A and B are shown apart, each in its own frame.
Chain A
Amino acid sequence: MKIKSVKFLAVDILLMILAVAPMLFGIALKILTNPASGGIEIAGARIYFTLKLPIQDLPITESQINSWLVIFSVFWLCIYFTHGISEKPQTKRQLIAEWIIETTEKLVKGNMGEYFSGFAPFVAAILAISAFSSLLTLIGLYPPTSDINIVAGWAILVFILITYYKMKCGPVHYLKSFGDPVPFLAPLNVISEVATPVSMAFRHYGNILSGTVISVLIAAALQGLSNMVLGWLPGVLGEIPFLQIGIPAVLSIYFDVFSGCLQAFIFAMLTMLYISSGFPAEDYKKRKNKKIKSEVN
Chain B
Amino acid sequence: MLELAIGIILGCCALGAGAAMIAGIGPGIGEGNAVAKACEAIGRQPESKGDVTTTMLMGCAIAETTGLYALVIAILLIFLAPGRFVNILLEAIK
Partners in one complex: yes
* Chain A residues close to B by CB (< 8 Å): 42, 44, 199, 202-203, 205-207, 209-210, 213, 262-263, 265-266, 269-270, 273
Contact B61 A270 (CB under 8 A): yes
* Chain B residues close to A by CB (< 8 Å): 54, 57-58, 61, 64-65, 68-69, 71-72, 75, 79
Interface of A is mostly: helix
Which residue in chain B gives the minimum CB-CB distance to A207?
Answer: B68
Contact B61 A206 (CB under 8 A): no
A209 vs B65: C-alpha distance when bound (angstroms): 14
Contact B61 A202 (CB under 8 A): no
A203 vs B61: C-alpha distance when bound (angstroms): 8
Contact B58 A269 (CB under 8 A): yes
Chain A nearest CB, measured from B74 CB (Å): 10
A206 vs B67: C-alpha distance when bound (angstroms): 9
Partner of B57, one of A42, A44, A202, A265: A265
Contact A203 B68 (CB under 8 A): yes
A209 vs B75: C-alpha distance when bound (angstroms): 10
CB contact under 8 A between A202 and B58, given known A209-B75, A210-B71: no
A202 vs B74: C-alpha distance when bound (angstroms): 13
A205 vs B65: C-alpha distance when bound (angstroms): 11
A-B contact pairs, 18 of them (CB 8 A): A42-B79, A44-B79, A199-B65, A203-B65, A203-B68, A206-B71, A206-B72, A209-B75, A210-B68, A210-B71, A262-B57, A262-B61, A266-B57, A266-B58, A266-B61, A269-B58, A270-B58, A273-B58
Chain A nearest CB, measured from B8 CB (Å): 23
